[in-house]
Amino acid sequence: MTQTKFELKMGGATRAAFGKALVELGRENSNVVVCDADLSKSTNTAGFAKEFPERFFSCGIAEANMVAIGAGLASAGKVAFVSSFSCFVLNKGFEQLRVTAAYPQVPIKVVGTHSGISIGEDGPSQMSIEDIALACSLPGFAVIDPADEVSMKSLVKSAAALPGSVFIRAGRANAPVIYGAEHTFEIGKAIGLTAGNDLTIIAHGLLVAEALRTSMALGAEGVGVRVIDMHTIKPLDEAAIAKAARETGAILVAEEHLVDGGLGVRVAQSVTKSHPCLMDYVGIQNTYAESGSPEAVLDKYGLVARDVTAAARRLLARKRG
């Protein structure tokens, strides 16, 4: 779909939508099981635990063990979801993700909540800014970061049906609603939200809404900004990237992740193979963030529409020579 204006009303957190989707999956499929690392109220797996206690496994504060248990359940034919904060499940569980899931190609479903720096007051020890880079490095893993509650619910259900390993990134902060309930999503297929031939902004997660705000602001000045929701970071929709590079000649990637190792790197790799063009990046710049409210932290580290718009203007200036 392509639109020129979005109301961007605030919705719920994508972690909450994950929890709702999980309960619905449990009702539809008795083969779905869930492992959690003593954070079920925060990750929103508590609803599944309440309704299906015999299919819920509390693994304690031990993400590495949780991943290995989930991989064992998945290898036995279960649709196994494991969940914790992204920072914990990727960092603490990485060896097990590598050895017990990626290497033997076990179709585990990993959901990391409280991703990025929008976790806010919990501070840098729990802010996951490397999770996408780590997840993308695992052979055979799909990596997904939905932008709102609607896309999260749909993509969680798609991930359950996918015959492979998946990492889904979820946030703590409430996110603007971008999609209508009727919208359909496909893993590996990007969504074009606005049309434009002057510049493309490719984003995922919370930064999709900020990209849309930039598109509307620049659109009022007569600048055509194409916004693409790259909800699937791996596998990339390389056809959409190539088309944007060819038709707009400039791509800005915006993400709540370290610029090093994030979506921008993957888009740049794709662009060099298809249609090299001007590029720039909005993201976390080689630093850990400090504690603060989600709004204050995102503002300080340059992840709001003002920053995306400023970067877009700079890229447009380069394009115009």
pTM for the predicted model, two decimal places: 0.95
Residue 121, pLDDT above cutoff 50: yes
pLDDT at 8: 87
Please check whether residues 21 and 54 belong to one and the same domain: yes
pLDDT at 1: 46
Tokens describing residue 311 = 């970067």
Residue-wise pLDDT tens digits, 127-138: 999 999 999 999
The mean pLDDT of 289-294, rounded to a whole number, is 95
Whether the pLDDT of residue 150 is over 70: the answer is yes
Domain that holds residue 235: 191-320
Q: What is the CATH number of the domain that holds 30?
A: 3.40.50.970
pLDDT at 2: 55
Active site residues: 63
| Domain count within the chain | 2
Judge whether 5 lies within some domain. no
* CB contact at 8 A, 248 and 107: no
What confidence tens digit (pLDDT) does each residue in 50-77 have?
999 999 999 999 999 999 999 999 999 9
Q: Is residue 165 located within the same domain as residue 24?
A: yes
Judge whether residue 5 has pLDDT over 80: no
Distance of alpha carbon 214 from the chain centroid:
20
| Cα 117 to Cα 298: distance, rounded to the nearest angstrom | 7
Name residue 82's beta-bridge partners.
Answer: 35, 110
What does the pLDDT look like over 192-233, one tens digit per residue?
Answer: 999 999 999 999 999 999 999 999 999 999 999 999 999 999
Residues 55 and 100 in one domain: yes
User: What percentage of the chain reaches a pLDDT higher than 70?
Assistant: 98
Interval 24-44 mean pLDDT? 97
